[in-house]
Structure 1
Amino acid sequence: MPDRTYPIDDNKTLEEIKYRELFRVTEKFHSSMDINSVLAEIIQTLKRVFPTYDYFLLLSNDHDACEDLPIKNLEYNSENATAIASYVNATVELEDTEYPVMYAPLKGKQGVYGVLQVKSLLTSELENSQIDFIRLLANTAGNALENAKLYQQSQKLVEDLRLIDEISQKLNSTSSLFETMNYLHNQIKKSFQAAAIGFIILEDHRPRVLEGSSSYFEEESSNELIHAVLKKIENTNESLFMGEIKQMPLSVQTFYGSLMAVPMIHSNAVNGLAIVLGNKPYSFSFEKFKLLQSLIQRSSLAVANLMLREKLEKLVITDQLTQLYARNYLNDMIEESMKSDRGGTFILIDLDDFKEINDTFGHQTGDQVLIQVADLIRKCLRSTDIGARWGGEELAVYLPDIPIEQGAQIAERLLNHVSQQTKPAVTMSCGVSNWDPCKPDGLTQLFSRADTALYEAKKAGKNRISVKKI
């Protein structure tokens, strides 16, 4: 129905205009489930009936207001005591000032949703008929607002349940922890407009940031935040919701304004937590906080199961003493590399006179020496390189896409580190070989060349490398 104004003439009294307008706006309210449409209709109706008044809608700050509407935030610490009294007591309040002001609560059956402020531009007092009309309009609008809010809440609840169900299905269908955490990160960022997201697990009561977290949580500066959050939840196991993070370290407050943290609980114990940060204070509503709690609670079991699975898989491919890879895993990775890479270098390592270490210091010390050498190997390798235990005191290193000349330099560096940094001191010999995609080759031939080179290094006096190029 198009908006219209009513000129006052002999055939229409102001009272008729007001109640026809009230009837019209009531019909319009019942046909709308949009909060901003209801608020706009209140103002438009008042402007038509009382063109010499000013109007404001005083609403709580949980409403995403349309910028075109005359809306002010209604806060409990406001200096406007009359407006607060109208809101708290759900009563019409009048201010007896030079220009009369009326406050009418926007009241529904379940609560008060704001206050309508009407200010006369004339010095004369508001008439009872005007007060009654504004009260009726506010009451009608309050019911309409309530219906619209309940409708929007129900729609949002359906969306949230759909999101939770979708994420649960996805988490239960993935077998990779990395893939799972990346998916969860993307969904939280999309649904919450989060500035940073961190997934932290506890290993021996120490926090470890999982892959899939935002880059902020990979920086050392995030450690202060993680420990502060853990300290707050360690006794209660309850989630944190901070509209303003004034209680957090200053290093965090520099970049972020609000925080949500939800513990990952499995078998009645906290084994991790999710931290979601917003750029500004009050970036997240309480409804968003409850949604995050549901998401993390649903995700905790899947994450725990995937972590257990990865631990079991790691046990299968890892040598328990040195924590280097097992030989079978090394073989598989080299075969994969031979299918896709442009070449690679293989280093076969044998600790010199290792039997004497065992005989002199005992097998436990011998094991510690092996662990020391394995640690030195790990420190020298890239993330794509593979260090493995070949058997007994023999170790191996594979360097994909590394030419044999560079591989020999790496072997020389390892040789020096081991002789200088082990205690009791031990030396080693290395046989270095390579493969070339332009020449027919296989694992057996690659290993055979390295073994031959290792034998030559031993024969030449030990504590040295020997190279056998394809």
Structure 2
Amino acid sequence: MDIVDFKKLFKIGEKLHSFLDVESLLSELFVILKEEYPNFSYDLLLSQSTYKHSDVLGIALEYDSENIAATNAYLTGEIQYEFSHTDKSKILYTPLKGKQGIYGVLQIIAPHSLDVQTKEVEFMTLLAESAGSALENAQLYQKSRKTILELQLINETAYRLNSDLPLADTLSFMAEQIKSSFYAQEVGFFLDSKERVKILPGSTPFFFSTTAQTYIDYIKGKLKKENDPLLFGDISLPLTNQSKRYHSIMVVPVVLGKNLKGFSMIMHEKPYFFSFETFQLLQTLVHHLSLSLTNSMLREELKKLVTTDHLTKLHSRNYLDEKIQSSMKKDNEGTFILIDIDNFKEINDSYGHQIGDEVLIQVANFIKGNIREKDVGARWGGEELAIYLPNVPLDAGVAIAQRIGAKVSENSDPHITVSCGVSHWNREKPDTDQNLFKRADEALYHAKGTGKNKVVTQGANSKVS
């Protein structure tokens, strides 16, 4: 080979090594080959690890009896020759070698009409080695960049998940991270219980559909056998023909101690869409999510304990006060009901304090069964309970109090009755929560003093029995 070829080869090597993107590097290699030897045809037979980086160029190298020469070139690192009896063409297989391995084989096909000179073989061999070295550098660079991005993702995720976000915000943030990082089409978070799987906020809308239940049930069945992460490359479940099918699924369980508390699932309709490296990264992220989920659940439980009466499971007095104060700032009106169990001391004296507690629980259950989700039932203190009804007029509040009183009288065991004092506020005149309480207390006092087992509204003259 003469000196001009070496200079040319040096310049080509410099150019190839300037590319840090595998796709761009392979494209440039084809351009160079076409410029140098326009009458030859070329193909790249890439190893599986290299082929993953190239969506357009090259084909995966298959290790079978039809590719003996290509396989030998890849395994030995030495150039191989082949002669085509079909069209009398000559085929060269030159390995793409780097310092750490061989990344594929360059296939060069010379037509029957052309003779391949020794210096051309030497040039293409050295070119392939230069391309292999450049390819190795590009892959190492991309791998290091990928590692850096993954570490940044894990770091950012861990930071955000440990910043005391509410559970719903935590899961919504996590869903966005997973969708943007893994290109997932569907992301779901699930809390497991003996009765059913609860779909948590942050999950994509698909998981609230009927079709999704087939996937959820299947995954739950798999996790019940073993609490191990699951990776499906091409799953096919029995669905209706109209249903959109997801073939690639990754599942990571949320395990606390040895108990399955839930799981995360991400899906894509293309088969084999998620790589094993992606699967490992998801496991790391969900591990952080598990810790955050545990902390969030503990915070929610602690908050519930602080705002809930231990015996009746109604809200606490402080919670009731906060809700009324908030309502008086934003709502147009509201009704407050103060409820007292008639002759409660006699119940304790006759049956004992345990039965007295059961009576309180019974009345609390009647309250919970007769108010809306946005209404507030609370333990006021002792044998007194309370209800606040935001944006409810006085007459409707009185009707609710009467209904609860009737339910208690008809269904309690031992038989008891309750007296109720009802007060109301509206935005037309200034008012405070303390005045609202005082009016209800006065009405209740009037009810207790005039025979009990009745409902009295604010102002003794407006009694309703």
Under TM normalisation by the shorter chain, which class is it? 0.7 to 0.9
Partners of 2:111 and 2:412 in 1: CA distance: 90
Secondary structure of the structure 1 residue equivalent to 2:273: coil
Structure 1: distance between partners of 2:41 and 2:196: 61
Give the alignment partner of residue 28 of structure 2, picking from 27, 30, 41. Answer: 41
Out of 1, 7, 11, which is 1:24 matched to? Answer: 11
Per-residue CA deviations over 1:368-405 (Å, capped at 9, x if unaligned) read 56545545544554443322222344432222233334
User: What is the total number of aligned residue pairs between the two structures?
Assistant: 454
The alpha carbon displacement at 1:344 in A equals 2.1
Equivalent position of 1:9 in the other structure: none
SS at match of 1:110: coil
TM-score (norm 1): 0.78
- 278-287 or 201-210: bigger deviation: 201-210
Pairing 1:47-86 to 2, within 5 Å after superposition: 47-59=34-46, 60=48, 63-65=52-54, 67=56, 70-74=57-61, 86=73
Aligned amino acid, residue 54 of structure 2: A
Cα distance in 1 between the residues matched to 2:7 and 2:119: 14
Q: Once the 2 structures are TM-superposed, how far is the Cα of residue 55 of structure 1 from its aligned partner?
A: 2.5
- SS of equivalent residue, structure 1 residue 323: coil
Task: Give the corresponding residue for 2:392.
Answer: 402
Q: Which whole-Å CA distance do the structure 2 matches of 1:274 and 1:200 have between them?
A: 6
Query: Structure 1, residues 110-162: CA drift from partner, whole Å, max 9, x if none?
Result: 33333333334546675555444433322221221111111111122122222
Contact 1:100–1:123 (8 Å) recurs in 2: no
Partner of 1:328: 318
Distance 2:238 2:157 in 1: 32
Whichever residue aligns with residue 311 of structure 1, its letter is: E
Give the gaps of 5 or more residues in structure 1.
1-12
| 1:156-198 deviations in Å (ceiling 9; x for gaps) | 2122222222222233332533333333333223322332333
The answer (yes or no) to whether the contact 2:339–2:420 under 8 Å persists in 1 is yes
Q: How does 1:309-324 map to 2 (within 5 A)?
A: 309-324=299-314
Match of 1:443 among 433, 436, 445: 433
Q: Which among 60, 69, 83 is matched to residue 96 of structure 1?
A: 83
Deviations 1:321-360 (A, max 9, x none): 2222111211122122223333322233345676787789
1:39 deviates by 0.3
Q: In structure 2, which of residues 314, 326, 329 is the aligned counterpart of residue 339 of structure 1?
A: 329
Q: 2:143 corresponds to which letter in structure 1?
A: Q
| Other-structure match for 2:380 | 390
Inter-partner Cα distance in structure 2 for 1:105 and 1:419: 92
- For 1:65, give the aligned amino acid: S
User: Residue deviations 1:278-328, cap 9 Å, x none?
Assistant: 343333333322222222323433432332233222212111222221112
Unaligned runs of 5+ in 2: none
In 2, the alpha carbon distance for the partners of 1:77 and 1:216 equals 42
Match of 1:7 in 2: none
The 3-state SS of whatever aligns with 1:173 is: coil
Q: Indicate the larger mover: 29-38 or 231-240.
A: 231-240
Secondary structure at the aligned position of 2:162 is classed as helix
- Work out which of the residue numbers 141, 144, 166 in structure 1 matches 2:131: 141
Matched, 1:161 2:157: no
Match of 1:398, as an amino acid? Answer: Y
Deviations 1:237-285 (Å, cap 9, x if unpaired)?
A: 4322223334x6758x944332222234555765443322334333333
TM-fit CA distance, 1:457: 6.0
Q: Which moved more, 1:307-316 or 1:77-86?
A: 77-86
Q: Is the 8 A contact 2:16 2:29 kept in 1?
A: no
Equivalent residue number for residue 230 of structure 2:
240
Instruction: Work out which of the residue numbers 342, 349, 366 in structure 1 matches 2:339.
Output: 349
**1:47 positional shift:** 0.6
RMSD: 4.2
Residue matched to 1:185: 175
TM-score, normalization by structure 2: 0.79
Q: Which residue, 168, 189, 198 being the options, matches 2:188? A: 198
How far apart are 1:429 and its partner, in Å? 5.1
**Range moving further from structure 2, 164-173 or 52-61:** 52-61
Q: Deviations over 1:58-116 (max 9, x none)?
A: 4448635365xx43355669976765665566554555322444444433233333333
Do the aligned residues in 2 keep the contact of 1:21 with 1:45 (CA within 8 Å)? Answer: no
Whether the 8 Å CA contact 1:348–1:396 is kept in 2: the answer is yes
What is the one-letter code of the residue matched to 2:128?
Answer: A
Q: Contact (CA 8 Å) 2:22, 2:53: kept in 1 or not?
A: no
**8 Å Cα contact 1:257/1:280 also seen in 2:** yes
**Cα distance change of structure 1 residues 200 and 44 upon mapping to structure 2, 3 Å threshold:** same
The alpha carbon displacement at 1:29 in A equals: 1.7
What's the secondary structure of 1:261's corresponding residue? strand
Provide closer, same or farther for how the CA distance between residues 394 and 204 of structure 1 changes in structure 2, counting only shifts above 3 A: farther
Q: Deviations over 1:19-42 (max 9, x none)?
A: 554332211122221212210121
Give the 3 Å change call, closer, same or farther, for CA 358–296 of structure 1 in structure 2.
same
Amino acid at match of 2:312: T
8 A Cα contact 1:225 1:249, kept in partner: no
Query: Structure 1's 49 and 344: CA in aligned 2 closer, same or farther, altered over 3 A?
Result: same
Q: 1 CA distance for matches of 2:380 and 2:222?
A: 47
CA distance in 2, matches of 1:259, 1:53: 44
Taking the aligned partners of 2:419 and 2:259, their CA distance within structure 1 comes to: 49
| Bigger Cα displacement from structure 2, 157-166 vs 116-125 | 116-125
Shift of 1:50: 1.9
Q: Is the 8 A contact 2:161 2:288 kept in 1?
A: no
Distance 1:55 1:404, change over 3 A: farther
- In structure 1, the residue matched to 2:283 is 293
Pairwise mapping of residues 442-461 of structure 1 onto structure 2 (< 5 A)? 442-454=432-444
Partners of 2:388 and 2:187 in 1: how far apart? 36
